[in-house]
Structure 1
C-alpha cells in the first residue's frame, strides 16, 4: 500500500478500511466501479487484527440449519431500534455466502467450538494479508494516514468533497460521486476507531442512538469480589432489570476483582449497558449449580450434611464447589467466625442462606467496562433514515452506510464481523445495480 498526497477523484470513495469497508471495496471493484479507500491508520484492518484473541472470529455457523428459516435465525442474533432492519441485508449475504467469499479469495475457514469460524491458519493476520492481495489484484488504491476532517455535499458533480489531513499535516481533498461511511463504532479505540463516522453522518443530517459498550465485562457492587477473583465456573447467569429476569445464559463464568466476565456475561452485557444508561436497576444473578433444581440442591446438601454431620461446615463443600468460593459463602451465612462449626449444628436459617446463594447469588451491576474493553457498540446512526435493502441514506442520495457505524450490533461469537461482511456487500451491490441499471 502507498500513501498518496494529491487531489484525486474516484467514482466511489469508502471511508474506513475495516471489515465492512474492505468487503465493500472488493465487491464494488468486482462490479467495475472505480473505487478507493480512505483510512486514517497506517495500515488496513487494524481492528480486525485484534479480534478473536488474534485469530479473527470471521463468522459463526451455529444458525446454518439448511432450512428456510436459516437467515431469520441469523437475524435474531442482532439488535437494533428497528428489530427487522438487519434481515434484508442478511438475506442477500449470509453465512454461506461469507464462507464462499473467503474461499474465493483463497482463505478457507475452520469451525471450532460453538460454531465459531476462523481462518484455517487461526491467525487474524491471514485475513489482512488476503485482503491486501485482493485490493492489489483489483488495483484498488488505499490512501493510508488520511484522517477525514469534513465531508461537504453538493447538488452538482462531483457530489462529495472529502477533506483529509495526512500524517505530515497536509490537507488533501478527494471528490466522488458516491460515498460509503464504514468507520465503525466506538470499540477498538486502540486501533484508531473514534466515532468520527457519527460526526460526519450527523453533519449530513442523520440522527443517532446514543452508543453504549456491548459484549463487555460487567462491574458489580460487592464487598468480597477481590476474594473471588480468578474463579471460573460452569454456571448460569440471569440479568434482571428492575427485578424482572430479562435473559439468561449458561457457560463459563469468570469472577474478577471488578465483577464478572466470560461468554454468558458478554452475551448479557448489552442489556445491562442499555438499561444502566436509562437509569434502571440492573442485577446479575448467578446460579452455581445450574444442572440441579433448587429442590435437588436442598436434597443434595441435606444428604451431604447428614452423612458427614461430624465435619466442619467449610469442609462440606469440598469436591463440588471451587475452593475460593467457600470462605465467601461462610461470610454470607455469617458463620465465618465459627471455623469449627459442625454440619450437625447448622441452623435452618443458615441452611436457607446456602440454599439461596447456590441457586441465586445476586450482584448489583453498577457499570460496564469502557469502549476500550468492549467488543461491540450498541447504538449508532439511526436506521429509520437508511433504506434497509440498499443501505443508502434516505436523506443524502449517493451516501451509503456499512458496518458498526449503524444502530445494529450482533451477539458474541463472530456476528458483528458477519454484519460487516453482509452490509459491506449489500451496499456495494446496491450501488452497482444503481450505476449499471
Structure 2
C-alpha cells in the first residue's frame, strides 16, 4: 500500500504525516474525500515519538470544564492574531480529542496537571493506531518523498507536487486540494526542518520569523557551573524594560548554560521574541515563594536573631538548597568570611540577602536552539488564512494545519491539541466546501 507509486492523482494530497497530517487525512477520508499523504520520512508520526518524554502528551483536560471550555483552551495559545485559534478549537476541543482517540482504540489517562497520555504510556501507540486506522480506510502514504516544489494552476488538476525519492528518482503527484502540514523548525532530525515555510512562501504567503518555543534559556552569570544541577520550587518572572510581562511557578533547574524547568519553558517565548527585538531581557526567580518582601525580611530577621551565634552559611541550611549557599555568599560579598556570624551581619549585607530571596535576577542572553525546543513560535502569517477553515486567502484550495502557521501553545499537551484541532477543522472545511455548505 505505502510504496505504490502508480496512483499519482488524488483529490486531496497532504504534505506531512505528522500529528496534523494524520488527523487531517483520517477526517477527510471519513468525509468521503480521496486522500493521500506525502511524507519525507520512512514512517509516520516520527516527531510524536519524542514528545512527553517518550509517553506523548496528547492533550490537557484542565481547561475542559464549564460552558466556555474552548475560550479557556484558546488562552493557552499565542499568535500575532490573538483570536485566531478560537474558531478552530470550538470545532474540535479536548473532549472531542479524548473521544476521538477512544474511537481509535486508544484510551487516554490523566497524569500531572491535567496532562493526558495514552494508557500504554508509550508515544509509539499514537502513530500506531493512526496507521491501523488509515490502513482500514485505504489511505495511501507515499513515504521517502521529499517535496521539491508545488505548482498551482488555474486548470485541473490545480496542484502539482514535485518530489524526489530516496533513490533520487523524481516523481510528480497532482491533486485538486492541498493541505500543508509540514511542521515548523523543531526536531529537524524528524523531518520538521522548516521546508514547509519555503513551499508556502513560494506561493505568496508571509513568514513571521520563527523562534524556538518551550525551550531552555541561556544566562550571563559567572557562577553557572556551581549552580548546575540545582533544583528548587519557585516563581520565575520574565522582565522587559523593568516590567514583569509573565510569571510562572514550578520546579526550576539551573544548568551549566543557564536555566530550565517547566516555568522557564513557559516563559521562553516571551524571552525569545523580546531578545529578537533587541530588548534587554531579565529573568527573576524567587527562592522563598509565597512570601512578600516584608515577610521575608521579618522571617530572616527573626531567624538570625534566634541563631545569631551560627555562621551565615549554617543559618541558611534547611531554608534553601544547600548547594545554593556558597553562591549566595559570593553574591553577598562574604564568601571570604566563611566564619562570619549572623549577629555580625551588616544591614547592607542583609539587604542583599533579602533582595536575592525575593528577586534574584539574571541577564538572559539567548535561548537554546530549535533542536532543544518543543515547538516553533512564529510561522506563516494567520491573517492570510480564513479563520475557522484554515484555507489560504491567497491560494484557493490550499489549507494549512499544525505548527507551520503562526500558532503555538503552552507546555502541557497544547501544541499536539492544536495539531489535532487544526487538522480536523481543515478537513471538515474542505468537506463542507465539496458539499456546498460553505456558502460558495
Matched, 1:272 2:265: no
SS in 1 for 2:86: helix
Matched, 1:385 2:384: yes
Which residue pairs with 1:143 in the alignment? 142
Which residue pairs with 1:13 in the alignment? 13
Contact 1:3 1:145 in 2 (8 A): no
Which residue pairs with 1:404 in the alignment? 403
SS in 2 for 1:352: helix
Deviations along 1:267-326, one digit per CA (max 9) or x if unpaired, are: 100000011111011000001111211111111111111111111111000111101100
Q: How has the CA–CA distance of structure 1 residues 164 and 7 changed in structure 2, closer, same or farther, with 3 Å as cutoff?
A: farther
Which residue pairs with 1:224 in the alignment? 223
Give, in whole Å, the separation in 2 of the partners of 1:341 and 1:6.
82
CA RMSD of aligned residues (A): 0.8
Deviations along 1:179-217, one digit per CA (max 9) or x if unpaired, are: 000000101112121111111101111011000001000
Give, in whole Å, the separation in 2 of the partners of 1:328 and 1:236.
19
Which residue pairs with 2:46 in the alignment? 46
Give, in whole Å, the separation in 1 of the partners of 2:250 and 2:34.
47
SS in 2 for 1:326: helix
Which residue pairs with 1:355 in the alignment? 354
SS in 2 for 1:82: coil
Of stretches 140-149 and 294-303 in structure 1, the one that deviates more from structure 2 is 294-303
Matched, 1:103 2:102: yes
Give, in whole Å, the separation in 2 of the partners of 1:352 and 1:250.
24
Deviations along 1:71-93, one digit per CA (max 9) or x if unpaired, are: 10100100111000001000000
Deviations along 1:108-148, one digit per CA (max 9) or x if unpaired, are: 00000101100011100110110110110000000000000
Runs (4+) of structure 1 exceeding 3 A deviation are 4-7
TM-score, structure 2 normalization? 0.98
Which residue pairs with 2:120 in the alignment? 121
Give, in whole Å, the separation in 2 of the partners of 1:100 and 1:72.
20
Give, in whole Å, the separation in 2 of the partners of 1:433 and 1:149.
30
Q: How has the CA–CA distance of structure 1 residues 279 and 287 changed in structure 2, closer, same or farther, with 3 Å as cutoff?
A: same
* Residue 435 of structure 1: how far off its partner (Å): 1.1
Give, in whole Å, the separation in 2 of the partners of 1:3 and 1:384.
38
Which residue pairs with 1:313 in the alignment? 312
Contact 1:238 1:248 in 2 (8 A): yes
Matched, 1:188 2:187: yes
Matches for 1:161-172 after TM superposition, within 5 Å = 161-172=160-171
* Residue 168 of structure 1: how far off its partner (Å): 0.4
Give, in whole Å, the separation in 2 of the partners of 1:424 and 1:301.
55
* Residue 7 of structure 1: how far off its partner (Å): 6.0
SS in 1 for 2:298: helix
SS in 2 for 1:13: strand
Give, in whole Å, the separation in 2 of the partners of 1:6 and 1:369.
44
TM-score, structure 1 normalization? 0.99
Number of matched pairs: 436
Contact 1:5 1:166 in 2 (8 A): no
Give, in whole Å, the separation in 2 of the partners of 1:326 and 1:2.
60
SS in 2 for 1:206: coil
Give, in whole Å, the separation in 2 of the partners of 1:4 and 1:136.
14
Deviations along 1:377-426, one digit per CA (max 9) or x if unpaired, are: 11000011100121111111110000010000001100000000000000
Matches for 1:410-425 after TM superposition, within 5 Å = 410-425=409-424
SS in 1 for 2:52: helix
Which residue pairs with 1:427 in the alignment? 426
Matches for 1:207-286 after TM superposition, within 5 Å = 207-286=206-285
Give, in whole Å, the separation in 1 of the partners of 2:432 and 2:57.
31
* Residue 5 of structure 1: how far off its partner (Å): 3.6
Contact 1:7 1:173 in 2 (8 A): no
Give, in whole Å, the separation in 2 of the partners of 1:311 and 1:382.
60
Structure 1: runs of 5+ lacking an equivalent = none
